[in-house]
Amino acid sequence: MESTLEKPDRTLLAVGIALWALVLALAAQQALAQASAPVFAWVGVGAAATGIALLAAALASEDLAPWLIAVAVLPLVYLVFYMGERAITGQGLAIARLAAGLAAAAVWFGLARRLPQRVQYASCVAAVGGAAIFFQLWEPPAPVPVPIARPLVKTFPRTLTVQLGDRVLATWKGEPQELPREVVSALGADEYLNLPIEDAAKHYQGLVFVTYNANAMSNIPHVPWVCMTQNGFAIAGQREDDVGIASAAGSVPVNVLLFTKDLGGQQARALMFQYFNVGHSYTTSRQIARFMATTGSVGERGSYLSQTQVVIYLRPNDTANPLAKDSEPYLMGVGLLNVVVPLLEKDYYPALGGTKGG
């Protein structure tokens, strides 16, 4: 096959080789910086070296140059993924590594556009192969476990006052209760708070339930739409709301669920507000929380996993739709969230040194 490379292309290829040599040095530095570099890191170093060898051979050989350039995309794709794995942390050197890898990729793309279509197809196959190899070998960097700032059960307030300015809207009081041993084992939490509460003035009962795992990569704790239904409750309504919070969070996305249960002819109802917090990032989705907790998106300096549930048990004489945002149970729940969320942020969730979790 005759070469499709002209003299300007060869100059560009030489620039690509120089860039790839820089990528090789950066990949080696990234691997050596880790106390015990995983397999995929050393494959990254090997990929950079392979890319240099293939492009150098393409530069030296006219007949095989197009195919060598096509095959070179496999280690190149692997390298871009490898560099991006740390760049998500926002560290300067990690971003510089990724920039060098993307520059090498840009040079290759400029050459590949002028290759025969058959060779371009081979390049696509090689690109898929490079990505497959990376994700087969890649293991997300485990975040450093971050203990809770203060023990929940011992220090969480027994009285929660909901205020609007100087006006007291509700005063909730209660004492933490231990969960059965098998439930605690199933939760797998490092800390948990199970706080039944009551507003005596309005005859409402409620619950504040918080779990905390020092390691964000812990198993996602049980969720209410599974546990509650297993205990005989049915989901009568469910949606997601953004609840305004007078704190650093600004607003928090929450699952709003209405549960019902038949108690011998009388129907018990509970309105629940629930969310996850992965390293200061809030989400309503168990799947997104799991993704945030088990990918390289968690902070290198540490991250944690927490779930919060605030429950308002409806009174027998409550006839209004509790899911309506102007209903008393809904407003009672939002008021409690405006106490609980800032309290957890200020006194319990640890500072992560500026590293964003999730």
**pLDDT (tens digit, 9 = 90+) per residue, 210-244?**
999 888 776 666 777 777 777 778 889 999 999 99
Tell me, yes or no, whether 283 and 315 share the same domain: yes
Mean pLDDT for 327-344 is 94
Q: What is the pLDDT of residue 354?
A: 42
Q: pLDDT band for 320, please (50, 70, 90 cuts).
A: confident
Per-residue pLDDT tens digits for 263-272 = 777 788 999 9
Looking at the fold, whether 187 and 288 belong to one and the same domain comes out as yes
Residue 302, pLDDT > 70, answer no
* Structural domain range at position 12: 7-137
**161 and 71 within one domain:** no
Please, which residues bridge with residue 357 across strands? none
Do 62 and 116 share a domain, yes or no?
A: yes
What string of DSSP letters covers 280-318? TEEES-HHHHHHHHHSTTS-TT-B-EEEEEEEEEPPTT-
Same domain? For 330 and 244 the reply is yes
| Residue 24, strand partner residues | none
Give the separation between CA 66 and CA 63, rounded to whole angstroms: 8
Q: What are 257's strand-pairing partners?
A: 238, 272
Tell which residue, 164, 115, 148, 98, has the closest CA to residue 12.
115
Which pLDDT score, from 0 to 100, does residue 61 have? 66
- Do 338 and 223 fall into the same domain? yes
- 143: in domain: no
Residues 322 and 231 grouped into a single domain: yes
| Cα–Cα distance for residue pair 199/160, rounded to 1 Å | 10
Q: Which of 137, 161, 187 is the last residue of a domain?
A: 137
For residue 272 the two structure tokens come to 């629940």
**Model confidence band, residue 296 (pLDDT cutoffs 50, 70, 90):** very low
The yes-or-no verdict on residue 146 having pLDDT over 70 is yes
* Same domain (yes/no): 76, 159: no
Q: How far is it, in rounded angstroms, from Cα 194 to Cα 268?
A: 20
Is the entire prediction scored with pTM above 0.75? no
Helices (H), the chain: 7-33, 39-60, 65-71, 73-87, 92-112, 117-137, 152-155, 181-187, 224-230, 286-294, 328-343
The predicted pLDDT at position 322 comes to 93
Nearest residue to 338 via CA among 160, 211, 152: 160
Q: Is residue 357 part of a domain?
A: no
Q: Does residue 266 lie in a domain region?
A: yes
As given in the structure block, the two tokens for residue 337 are 């969230």
Residue 1 has pLDDT above 60, yes or no: no
Q: Indicate the SS3 state at residue 115.
A: coil
* CA–CA gap between residue 66 and residue 116 (Å, rounded): 8
How many separate domains does the chain show? 2
pLDDT at 297 over 80: no
Long-range contacts of 185-194 (CB under 8 A, 24+ apart): 186/222, 187/211, 187/221, 187/222, 188/213, 188/218, 188/219, 188/221, 189/213, 189/218, 189/221, 190/147, 190/148, 190/214, 191/148, 191/151, 191/152, 191/153, 192/152, 192/153, 193/152, 193/153, 193/156
Rounded to 5 degrees, φ, ψ at 234 are -120, 145
Do both 198 and 331 map to the same domain?
yes
How large a percentage of the chain has pLDDT more than 90?
Answer: 29
**Residue 355 confidence (pLDDT):** 39
- Alpha carbon dihedral 50, 55, 57, 61, in 10-degree steps, equals 160
Q: Answer yes or no: do 85 and 157 share one domain.
A: no
Please report, for residues 38, 205, 310, the alpha-carbon distance to residue 337 in angstroms, rounded to integers and kept in the order given.
42, 15, 7
Tell whether the model's pLDDT for residue 136 goes beyond 80: no
Q: Are residues 75 and 159 in the same domain?
A: no
